């Protein structure tokens, strides 16, 4: 935080100077236009491009439902507008909205945090987002998305070990919540790219962290996708009444627990900026390959039916993929730790 003294210019004009670093970061020069926005007791200074982007966010966007003539297309367009930070979206038809379009709009609005239908007629549905970014610090959202994936994996593996189909079904249901968290994080970080004030508001130390959060959110959402696939394959095995030997179940549970530990340490290192936890995650991930090979050998020894082997291999592969995404998050945790000098890594003294 910097302070500036108010200077008097002429008979009545009061001025303050802009910080050189702030001006340099935004490539501003003499004659460029900036905008002063009053927000309660505060004034915000926005460069021209940032102000234009803010105006665009508050513009109403119209989606022509008649052109969205393929399954899922309308949903993806609504999600894309939401992610780009747009506040008001109108889905409109030249005649009457088709029933499948109405259902698609309603289903999609329930998947996107803060987005709701505020008006509906026979040929038009108006959606509006009423999110206050101050209520959604990124670390809390990342932790929530992590917990969803970890819980889904635990439920899916437990369902296979115990034969309780309901646990796998519960895991599948959580995937919609994971998607909701992912789209929300993406909306917030993309908004922070064009609105400097959101960087601090969302709990980031600098704009450098924006790219990292995008990758982390993508990795965590992909992990949830793998967990859903694992749960669906567990249900397939249960439907086939496959007998899982105690030895195989034990090794599968141990593999799952090892991957969960990697995943946990990676997120712990990220959120607490603890480089040792991040290092532990990377080190543990290197030992996963042997566990995978041991489990695959046991699988091929116990089962010879391809209808059983394929879902089992998919389950094992999904768990292994989770460990690799944990490793990716741990590497980002390392980078985040090293962004600022510490006792462990600092600039060499002059000379």
Q: Where along the chain do its domains lie? A: 56-129, 134-338
Kindly report which listed range (9-18, 40-49, 97-106, 340-349) carries the lowest average pLDDT score.
40-49
Residues 287/219, Cβ–Cβ less than 8 Å: no
Q: How far is CA 238 from CA 63, 163, 224, 243, 323, in A?
A: 44, 7, 21, 9, 25
State the pLDDT confidence band at 53, using cuts at 50, 70 and 90. Answer: low
Residue 197 pLDDT greater than 80, yes or no: no
pLDDT at 350 (0 to 100): 82
Phi, psi of 243, rounded to the nearest 5 degrees: -85, 120
State the pLDDT confidence band at 189, using cuts at 50, 70 and 90. Answer: very high
> Exposed/middle/buried for 274, CB within 10 Å: 0-12, 13-18, 19+?
middle
Rank 4-8, 46-50, 315-319 by mean pLDDT and report only the highest.
Answer: 315-319
Other beta carbons within 10 angstroms of residue 157's beta carbon come to: 27
Question: Model pTM?
Answer: 0.82
State the pLDDT confidence band at 21, using cuts at 50, 70 and 90. Answer: confident
CA atoms of 263 and 268, how far apart (whole Å): 9
CATH class of 56-129: alpha beta
CATH class of 134-338: mainly alpha
pLDDT tens-digit readout, 233-268? 999 999 999 988 889 999 999 999 999 999 999 999
What is the total residue count of the chain?
351
Higher pLDDT, residue 322 or 47: 322
- Helix, strand, coil % over all residues of the chain, rounded to 5: 65, 10, 25
CA atoms of 327 and 88, how far apart (whole Å): 38
């Amino acid at each position: 935080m910097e302070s500036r003294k108010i200077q008097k210019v002429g008979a009545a004009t009061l001025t303050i100077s802009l910080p050189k670093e702030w001006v340099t970061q935004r490539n501003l020069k003499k004659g460029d236009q900036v905008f002063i926005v009053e927000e309660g007791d505060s004034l915000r200074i926005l460069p021209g491009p940032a102000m234009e982007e803010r105006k665009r966010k508050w513009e109403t966007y119209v989606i022509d439902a008649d052109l969205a003539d393929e399954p899922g297309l309308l949903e993806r367009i609504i999600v894309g507008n939401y992610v780009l930070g747009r506040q008001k979206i109108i889905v409109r038809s030249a005649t009457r909205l088709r029933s499948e379009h109405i259902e698609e709009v309603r289903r999609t609005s329930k998947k996107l945090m803060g987005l709701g239908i505020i008006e509906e007629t026979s040929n038009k549905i108006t959606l509006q987002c009423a999110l206050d970014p101050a209520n959604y610090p990124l670390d809390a959202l990342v932790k929530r998305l992590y917990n969803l994936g970890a819980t889904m994996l635990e439920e899916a593996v437990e369902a296979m070990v115990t034969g309780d189909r309901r646990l796998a079904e519960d895991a599948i249901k959580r995937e919609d919540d994971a998607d909701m968290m992912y789209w929300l994080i993406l909306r917030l970080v993309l908004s922070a790219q064009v609105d400097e004030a959101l960087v601090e508001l969302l709990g980031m130390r600098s704009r450098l962290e924006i790219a990292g959060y995008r990758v982390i959110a993508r990795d965590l959402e992909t992990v949830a996708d793998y967990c859903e696939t694992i749960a669906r394959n567990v249900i397939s095995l249960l439907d086939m009444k496959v007998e899982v030997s105690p030895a195989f179940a034990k090794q599968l549970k141990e593999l799952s627990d090892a991957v969960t530990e990697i995943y946990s340490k990676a997120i712990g290192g990220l959120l607490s900026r603890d480089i040792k936890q991040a290092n532990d995650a990377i080190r543990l991930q290197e030992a996963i390959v042997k566990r995978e090979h041991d489990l695959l050998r046991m699988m091929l020894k116990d089962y010879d039916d391809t209808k059983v082997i394929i879902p089992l291999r998919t389950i094992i592969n999904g768990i292994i993929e989770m460990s690799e995404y944990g490793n990716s998050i741990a590497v980002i945790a390392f980078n985040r730790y090293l962004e600022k000098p510490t006792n462990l890594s600092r600039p060499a003294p002059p000379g």
